[in-house]
């Protein structure tokens, strides 16, 4: 059994087999040439530098045939098999109707909203655990207050984490990898920890009877840039709060003036330190809704073009006729 452990002579192990078993293996062994993979395409020989007056012909430039990323041989082997390859998601989209595409857009937006809740809950795991343990084994103080302090801490953490995620663009349906979503979730938690540090300094100033310091907004462009770059966030007070209204007017131009006035009134009723966070969270939500509206509009335009092509080809369906008579184009 030396062959089992990678040591010993293979011929000696063959001689130790039973004669009948050795004869059976010899007769049943496959014969003929062994199959082999195609060799790697040979690299073109290095060409000598051409004179400046001459240009290399297209035949001199030999490149490996392109293969899709699904291929296990990116060097170009089996490229002829991948020539007419179409990804499965593209094939699925070809068979979808207008209603299916619209349903996919709405489902994707709802999934992003649910993902914000899960990410905020993960960032507030410690606060949730404290609330859970309070409900399971409360002391006499927790029994009298029904764990009000723990519940308030967890609810504020969950609410603020969700707002930070919206402000950072977590709700948008842009193509992102799970790693990018996790990085954005980490940035939201960094900003929340800075907010807690600022609130602690404000409470300390109130206890000491000192003037309340004014801090830079947690969601200012400078703070977000420091969080994205992985730099430590500073909670030192500044002379006055810094606001950042970069593309707010572009977003509000797509909203009715009456809706904006109503929102401004509600925003003025909030504490000053919460107004900037609430504003940035709403702007992030409006960006996501605007992106979804563009996708819905693109789906309608694509469907209208397909109906016009079917009508020109004489393949108009009953549904196409009804939509045309109703003025859908």
User: Is the residue at 223 inside a domain?
Assistant: yes
Q: What is the pLDDT of residues 205-258, one digit of tens each?
A: 988 888 888 877 888 777 777 766 666 555 555 544 444 555 677 777 778 888
Residue 120 pLDDT class (50, 70, 90 cuts):
very high
* Beta-carbon contacts of residue 75 (< 8 Å; ≥ 6 apart): 40, 41, 64
pLDDT digits (tens, 9 = 90+) for 306-317: 888 888 888 888
Q: Is 131 contained in some domain?
A: yes
Reply yes or no on whether the pLDDT at 2 is more than 80. Answer: no
Residue 283 within a domain:
yes
What's the N-to-C CA distance of the chain in angstroms?
79
**pLDDT for the residue numbered 160:** 94
Rounded CA separation 305/298 (Å): 11
277 phi, psi to nearest 5 deg: -65, -45
Q: Phi first, then psi: give them for residue 141, nearest 5 degrees.
A: -70, -45
Residue 105 domain-assigned (yes or no): yes
37 assigned to some structural domain: no
Can you give the pLDDT at residue 31? Answer: 66
Assign 45 to helix, strand or coil.
coil
pLDDT at site 32: 61
Give me the mean pLDDT over the 102-112 stretch: 89
Domain that holds residue 141: 95-304
- Tally of domains within the chain: 1
Q: Please indicate, yes or no, if residue 62 is contained in any of the structural domains.
A: no
- Could you give the percent of the chain with pLDDT greater than 90? 18
pLDDT 10s digits, 54-104: 444 444 445 656 777 878 888 888 888 888 888 887 888 777 887 888 888
- 47 found inside a domain: no
Q: Could you tell me if residue 328 is inside a domain? A: no
Taking alpha carbons only, the member of 177, 178, 169, 170 closest to residue 114 is: 170
List, in sequence order, the alpha helices (H) in the chain.
10-15, 19-28, 88-94, 98-123, 125-136, 140-145, 148-167, 178-208, 221-228, 248-252, 257-268, 272-312, 318-325
């Amino acid at each position: 059994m030396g062959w089992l452990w990678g040591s010993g002579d293979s011929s000696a192990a063959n001689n130790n087999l039973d004669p009948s078993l050795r004869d059976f293996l010899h007769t049943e062994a496959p014969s003929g040439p062994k199959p082999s993979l195609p060799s790697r395409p040979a690299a073109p020989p290095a060409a000598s530098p051409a004179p400046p007056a001459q240009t290399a012909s297209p035949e001199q430039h030999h490149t490996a045939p392109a293969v899709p990323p699904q291929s296990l041989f990116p060097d170009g082997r089996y490229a002829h098999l991948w020539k007419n390859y179409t990804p499965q998601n593209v094939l699925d989209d070809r068979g979808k109707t207008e209603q299916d595409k619209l349903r996919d857009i709405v489902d994707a937006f709802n999934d992003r909203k649910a993902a914000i809740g899960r990410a905020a809950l993960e960032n507030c795991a410690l606060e949730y655990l404290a609330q859970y343990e309070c409900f399971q084994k409360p002391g006499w103080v927790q029994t009298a207050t029904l764990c009000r302090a723990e519940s308030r801490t967890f609810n504020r953490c969950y609410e603020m984490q969700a707002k930070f995620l919206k402000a950072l663009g977590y709700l948008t349906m842009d193509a992102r990898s799970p790693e990018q979503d996790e990085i954005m979730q980490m940035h939201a938690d960094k900003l929340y920890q800075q907010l807690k540090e600022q609130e602690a300094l404000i409470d300390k100033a109130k206890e000491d009877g000192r003037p309340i310091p004014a801090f830079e907004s947690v969601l200012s462009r400078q703070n977000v840039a420091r969080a994205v770059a992985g730099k430590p966030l500073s909670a030192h007070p500044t002379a006055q709060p810094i606001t950042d209204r970069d593309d707010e007017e572009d977003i509000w131009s797509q909203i009715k003036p009456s809706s904006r006035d109503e929102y401004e009134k509600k925003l003025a009723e909030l504490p000053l330190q919460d107004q900037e966070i609430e504003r940035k969270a709403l702007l992030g939500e409006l960006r996501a809704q605007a992106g979804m509206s563009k996708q819905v509009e693109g789906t309608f335009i694509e469907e209208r073009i397909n109906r016009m092509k079917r009508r020109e080809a004489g393949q108009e369906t009953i549904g196409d006729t009804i939509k045309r008579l109703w003025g859908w184009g």
